[in-house]
Structures are given as C-alpha cells and as structure tokens.
Chain A
Amino acid sequence: MIKSIKDLTFEEQMLPGTPACAGCGGLLALRHCLKALGEKTVIVNAAGCFTLLCVYPFTPFKSSWLYTAMACAPAGAQGVRDALNILIKKGRLDEKEDLKVVVLTGDGAAYDMGLSSTSGAIYRNLDFYYICYDNEAYGNTGFQSSGATPFGSKTGTTLPAELNPLGSELSKKDLFEIWRSHKPPYLATISPSHPVDIANKFKKCEGIKGPKLFIAHSPCPPGWATEPRLSAKFAKLAVETGIWPLKEALYGEVKHTLIPKKFKPVEEYLSEQGRFAHLFKPIRQEEAIKNIQERVNRYWK
C-alpha cells in the first residue's frame, strides 16, 4: 500500500498542453488514474469535455484513444475488448502486450445517457475500467443540470429565480449504489485531492477480471463558478464535510477508505462556490442549507 504522495510515480501518461480549462479538477483526477493504470491502456471516451483532449492532430495521451457517441462508450469498450481477445487468440498479440480498456465519460454520460449501456456491460461482466469525472452537470455544453447535479445547485437549466429560489430541486442520483446493485467485482469513489487513495484503489483491483468502476468528484471552475486555484481545495472540502464519501466495494462489500475525524459543516463547502451563492445571498435560505447538512448527517449515521 502506498502511504504518501512522495511514493507516487513521477511517470506521466498524459502530457500538458491539453485544451481543458485551467484548474480542471477532472483532469487532475484523470492524471492520477492514468498514472496508476500505466501505459498499456486504450481509452474509450464518450462525448463531453474530455473528447476535446484529442482534437486532431493532437493528443495528450501516450496510449490509444477512441471517441464514441455519448451513450455508448461501454459498448465501444466491448468492441475493443473483443478485438483484443481475438488478436490474442489468433496469436497476433502477445498476452503480455494486452491493453486495459478504459471507459472515460462525464457524469451526463455516466448518470444519464450511458446508464443503460453501462448496465449491459457490467451485466456481461466486461473486463474494463470505467472512470467517470463527475463535475455534477453537462459541462461541455454549458453546464446544464444532469442526474449528478446536487440539490440546491445553480446550473444552466436550473437558474435560481423568484419562483425557483433553490436552483436544482432534485437530488443527485446515487450512482455508486446503482452500479453496485449490478454486482461488479470492484467499484470506488475517488477525489483528485486524494491521489494516494486513487493509487491504492487501482492497485487493489489490479488483476481482477470484470468491471472496475470509479467515480471521481471533479471541481469545474467555469461550471461551479469558482476560481481555478481553488479546485483542489473544494475537492478536499467535499471529502472533509462528508458530502463526497471516499469508499470502495470489493465484491459488493462497502468500505469507507477515509472517514473524517471531525466533519466540517457543509456550509464551508457551499458558501464559496458561485453555483450555491444564491443559498446565501441576497437572503440566506436556512431551510435549504439545513436540508443539505441533514442529508450528509443521515448518510454517515
């Protein structure tokens, strides 16, 4: 087990110069996931911000990358996995040269549009990784609300106004439990502010055949209306307030990998983000803030 960030590899699988926004939390999460996965991967990427990472003729990846439509990255991964298996079977690819098939999507694809193809892939016990960078809305098209948008968040489609002072009135889906109900061998939540935790989780599931699924909480400066320099801080605060529990489930058994000794109040996380600003100004929406705190308390009880 890795103990400290000093023990993380300096080897990078994704180089600088990407078109992602300055301070993109999802990119930081992806960087650490790829460090843990190593060079022998093929990334299958559904439409979203990260498709822009590979705009012809550029790519930041040392490995291969394939672009699919929004709803079908896991189906694309099935095709790639099958092709690799056939090549191995025919002796055209040495088993040692095999590639890990990695689906990469945003939360819009993971929580909503691609949920059925993911369900199918887990059901078929497809041997693949899934990395969802969860910026809690459809980021690439202007931050419209998704199934991952939390209660009380402002998005492009849930603008707070007199009749709708809360912004989003709906609650974030529990994708971890939705995926877990399919009984994949491994799944975990991760955060870009906890790279050691990321490395250890990838280590833990290495060698397991079948779906290995990761949801990365991903601060997004333009969507969250936060300063780029604070992305790591908000990722950390989400963990420290208990809003984003770091956990894993190996063969279905859930274990929290970090339980804050003392939970910070959710207000610390909410009040500095533009997407929650309407909960505090011009009038403080006490009920809503309390509601969010109580959800967290209930989860950890």
Chain B
Amino acid sequence: MLKVRFHGRGGQGAKIASRVLGTAAFLEGYYAQDFPLYGAERRGAPIAAFTRISKEPILERGVISEPDVIVVMDETLLDDPLANPLSGLGKEGLVFINTTHKAEDIKKRYRIDANVLTLDITKISLDILGKPILSALAGGAASKIVRLKETSLKEAVTRELSDITHEKGLIEKNIEASIYCFNALPSVLIKSNASHKKSDVITMPFEAADISSPSVTIPANTPLKKTGNWRIFKPVWDYELCTKCMTCVMRCPDGCIRVNEEGFPYSDYENCKGCMICAEECPAKAIRKEREVHAW
C-alpha cells in the first residue's frame, strides 16, 4: 500500500488534490481511499488530506501518520508547528514541495533526510488558470510521483472537477495545468513502508466543568498567530500616490493597516492575510499587489 498525505491551506485545493490522486489510481484498477481533515479554522488555515492506494482492499482507516509521500502545497507550512507537514516521514519517503527554491536548498534549510522534489506550481496555476487554485496541479504532481498514467490523471481531473463546475474551459485549463506538472516531474520508485502502527485508544477522564472548560485571560492575543503566512500576494504602498484618504485603513477586515508618523498607511505583514481589499478599494491606486515568495 502507498500512503500519500497532502498539506495545504484551506481554499488551495488539498482535498480535491487527494481526490484526483485517488480517482486516478482507482481508474487504473487500484483500491483507493481519500479524505480530508479540517481543523476548526477557515480558508487560509492549514488543512491536510490523505490518499491510500493499494492492490488489495484497504482495511486501514483514519489519518495517515506515517506517509510514503508528502505533498506540501504551500512552503510556509514547513515553518508552521501546528501543520507540522513533515511528521512521520521516513528516510525512504519522498516530499514534494511547492516552492520557488531548489530541492537541495530545501533539504538543507529544513534538514530533510528523505527525497525532495520541488516545483513552483503556484506560478504554473497563475499562468494557466489565472488563480492560485492548486488541486489539479498537486494531484498531477502526486500522480506522477506514484507512477500513475497520464490518461488516468486526465480522466480523474475531469471527473472531480465536473462535480464542482460546469465551465468546460476551466476544466480544460485544469487538465492542461495538471499534465504540465505531471510532465515536469520525474517518476520515482518509492519503497512503501507498509507497516501499520496501531494507535493507542485515547480515553478522556471526566473533569468537572470548572476544570474542563478553559478560559483565556489574556485580551487580544491573536496577533501571535501570525496569519501573514496565509498570503499569496501582498499589498505594497506607494506613498508618492497616496493621498492619505484612509479608505484602505477602514476597509481592512482584519484591521491590519495602521498609520505611521507621517500619516501614511502601512500593513502589519505579520498578520495581513493578503485579501487585497485595500488595493482594490484605494481610489488613488497607490497599493499594488506583489507575489509573495517565501524569503529565507
């Protein structure tokens, strides 16, 4: 059995990517299983999705804690202690990372012993689809890595996306992007670590309500969460053009924009989610959008 785990941010398409891979495998006669895991959070927050592929019926259930292949759809997740995308990866395993950086550099920086493949699939999706929706692309990358056929991938993307959209053109563009990623990667022989570790049954002791219901006594501490790594684009101000009208300040849903001593607005990039409402609303067009590249 081959176990693949996808890590993405809500809205990027990790769930559909896991389905594309599962369906492609199924079409080639394998047994397949795919499902997502959501936290309590929303679009932009880390999510994981899982695909199991096997020649035999799959009896294993639940999340994959020791994957053979990990697909990291957003490089910033590598620094995220909650997402912890590399957990359970063995030396024989393989990680695919969506990044602008080279595999050797990634291995060094994140101290990864396993095999690493990289490709900037965000750029490919922006070029072909016009938006950073990575489901078909990550599904394509994963299909190549686990040595499925191009024809099954094509059919899988069509089937999965037909459930979501009726736009023919969009499905075709997704197929194009998916195949592009498929062909851009080498296929690799992966030794599956077939061992199945039993997980312990978790028991929850009864606690009285005053102990078991937690309370937060520090006011307004969410800035510690640093939602800035949700961004794909960042707003950049041009003070030559800015008229200090304060529109951007009052339009930011998160209240990330503050005003400096000279009265010019600036964003708290630690938490700005990159929604780009500020850029859209600025009457003077003084805010431009720049692709966010994870700088080391």
Residues of A that sit less than 8 Å from B by CB: 5-6, 8, 10, 12, 14-25, 27-28, 31-32, 49, 52-63, 192-193, 195, 221-222, 228-233, 281-282
Tell me the complex Cα distance, A188–B258, Å. Answer: 29
Q: Which of A6, A18, A23, A222 touches B246 (beta carbons < 8 Å)?
A: A6
Nearest B residue (CB) for A4: B246
Provide the residues of chain A in CB contact with B108, threshold 8 Å: none
In the bound complex, do residue A17 and residue B224 qualify as a contact, i.e. CB atoms below 8 Å apart?
A: yes
In the bound complex, do residue B42 and residue A21 qualify as a contact, i.e. CB atoms below 8 Å apart?
A: yes
Provide the residues of chain A in CB contact with B251, threshold 8 Å: 28, 193, 232
In the bound complex, do residue A22 and residue B221 qualify as a contact, i.e. CB atoms below 8 Å apart?
A: no
Q: Which listed segment binds A: B62-70, B121-129, B140-148, B212-220? A: B212-220
Tell me the complex Cα distance, A177–B28, Å. Answer: 58
Interface residues on B, range: 35 or more
A-B contact pairs, 15 of them (CB 8 A): A6-B245, A10-B259, A15-B255, A16-B268, A18-B222, A18-B254, A19-B42, A20-B42, A22-B273, A24-B253, A58-B224, A63-B219, A193-B251, A231-B253, A232-B280
Residues of B that sit less than 8 Å from A by CB: 10-11, 40-45, 166-167, 214, 216, 218-227, 230, 245-247, 249-256, 258-259, 268, 271-277, 279-281
Provide the residues of chain A in CB contact with B167, threshold 8 Å: 281
Provide the residues of chain B in CB contact with A282, threshold 8 Å: 166
In the bound complex, do residue A230 and residue B280 qualify as a contact, i.e. CB atoms below 8 Å apart?
A: yes
In the bound complex, do residue B259 and residue A52 qualify as a contact, i.e. CB atoms below 8 Å apart?
A: no
In the bound complex, do residue A59 and residue B245 qualify as a contact, i.e. CB atoms below 8 Å apart?
A: no
Provide the residues of chain B in CB contact with A56, threshold 8 Å: 214, 216
Helix, strand, loop or mixed for chain B's interface? loop
Nearest A residue (CB) for B280: A229
Q: A31-B253, A52-B41 are in contact. Are A16 and B214 (CB under 8 A)?
A: no
Tell me the complex Cα distance, A48–B166, Å. Answer: 30
Q: Beyond the given A18-B227, A19-B45, A61-B219, could you list 7 further A-B residue pairs with CB under 8 A, ordered by the A residue number?
A: A5-B246, A5-B250, A16-B272, A17-B227, A20-B254, A22-B230, A23-B253
Q: How far is the CB of A251 from chain B (nearest CB, A)?
A: 30
In the bound complex, do residue A60 and residue B220 qualify as a contact, i.e. CB atoms below 8 Å apart?
A: yes
Provide the residues of chain A in CB contact with B214, threshold 8 Å: 56-57
Tell me the complex Cα distance, A252–B221, Å. Answer: 40
Q: How far is the CB of B130 from chain A (nearest CB, A)?
A: 11
Q: How far is the CB of B234 from chain A (nearest CB, A)?
A: 12
Q: Which of A15, A19, A228 touches B275 (beta carbons < 8 Å)?
A: A228
Provide the residues of chain A in CB contact with B250, threshold 8 Å: 5, 8, 32, 195
Tell me the complex Cα distance, A228–B254, Å. Answer: 13
In the bound complex, do residue A27 and residue B254 qualify as a contact, i.e. CB atoms below 8 Å apart?
A: yes
In the bound complex, do residue A21 and residue B43 qualify as a contact, i.e. CB atoms below 8 Å apart?
A: yes
In the bound complex, do residue A59 and residue B275 qualify as a contact, i.e. CB atoms below 8 Å apart?
A: no
In the bound complex, do residue A232 and residue B277 qualify as a contact, i.e. CB atoms below 8 Å apart?
A: yes
Provide the residues of chain B in CB contact with A18, threshold 8 Å: 222, 227, 254
Provide the residues of chain B in CB contact with A229, threshold 8 Å: 275-277, 279-280
